[in-house]
Amino acid sequence: MTTDAVRATPDSWKDPRLPAEQLKVVEKELVMLREGSPPRVYTAVADALKAVPGSGPLSLLEVGCASGYYAEVIAALVGDRFKYTGADYSDAMIALARRRYPDTPFLRLDVRDIALPDAAYDVVLSGAVLQHVKEWKVGLCELARVARSYLILSRAPLTSGPSSRGECELYAGVPGYMNWFNKNEFLGLVAECGFRTLHEQQVYPHEGPARRHMTFLFQAG
């Protein structure tokens, strides 16, 4: 991670090279899923969904769905308890998602200004999105606003030090923002948005306490 993000832009995720390049990675993960050995990032989300109280079906919106593969992940690991809708900022990603999962609804949405009413979905899921958004605090509040009961944030990069922003490679050399969130600041903002922690899990066991990726389930109220 560099100390500044001068090459990254808010539209980096719209780069037309990204869908095909990300799909190469996703396809390998989906093979693992289909063979019964899903990656930990998948099982962490599944564990969070299984920790949602009550019974279904519950409406679920994934913000930052990319090629829509979590429709398959959730169906395989959790079943039909959740009625999935995907949403992404990239028109190219949404087009790919609709080709791959033609029976699944997909929306074009910007996490910084989600064009949906308050409490639009029972559950809102977002993974590896806010760390690439310059206005991540705005995005977090928007995710909470459209979540009626539960909010799942997957692979949140948390640090015991100050929050920071640098630059990373998304795919194919495309530069993007990379945020690390101070854990207390991050969870404090979630609380200000009206949500409390119901479940948390470290995604990668090898990471130390100073910097780690966490998946959270938050409940409204």
Over the Cα atoms of the chain, what is R_g?
Answer: 16
Q: What angle do CA 132, 61, 44 make, to 5 degrees?
A: 70
pLDDT of residue 60: 98
Residue 6 has pLDDT above 90, yes or no: no
If you write DSSP's letter for every residue of 131-143 in order, what string do you get? Answer: GG-TTHHHHHHHH
Whether the Cβ atoms of residue 140 and residue 130 lie closer than 8 Å to each other: yes
Residue 1 lies in a domain: no
Q: Round to whole Å and give the CA distance between 213 and 115.
A: 28
- Residue 72 lies inside a defined structural domain of this protein: yes
pLDDT band at 17 (very low <50, low <70, confident <90, very high): very high
Instruction: Supply the pLDDT for residue 54.
Output: 85
pLDDT for res 220: 98
CATH number at residue 62: 3.40.50.150
Terminal-residue alpha carbon distance, the chain? 36
Residue 4 resides in a domain: no
Q: For the chain, how many structural domains are there in total?
A: 1
Domain membership of residue 3 (yes or no) is no
Question: Is residue 153 assigned to a domain?
Answer: yes
Does a structural domain hold residue 2?
A: no
CA atoms within 13 A on the CB side of 211: 6
Using one digit for the tens of pLDDT, what is the confidence trace for 180-203? 999 999 999 999 999 999 999 999
| Region label for 164, one of left (φ > 0), alpha (ψ between -120 and 50) or beta (otherwise) | beta
Helix (H, G, I), strand (E, B) or coil at 28: helix
Write out pLDDT tens, residues 65-114: 999 999 999 999 999 999 999 999 999 999 999 999 999 999 999 999 99
Q: Is 142 helix (H, G, I), strand (E, B) or coil?
A: helix
Average pLDDT over the chain, rounded to an integer? 94
Statement: residue 4 has pLDDT above 60:
no
Half-sphere exposure of 114 (CA within 13 A, CB side): 27
Tell me the per-residue pLDDT of 25-76, one tens digit each, with 9 for 90 and over. 999 999 999 999 999 999 999 999 999 998 879 999 999 999 999 999 999 9
Q: Which domain holds residue 82?
A: 12-220
Query: Cα angle at 49 between 13 and 133, to 5 degrees?
Result: 20
Does residue 5 form part of some domain? Answer: no
pTM assigned to the model = 0.94
pLDDT of residue 172: 86
Helix 18-34 to helix 70-77 angle (10° resolution) is 10
Structural domain includes residue 87: yes
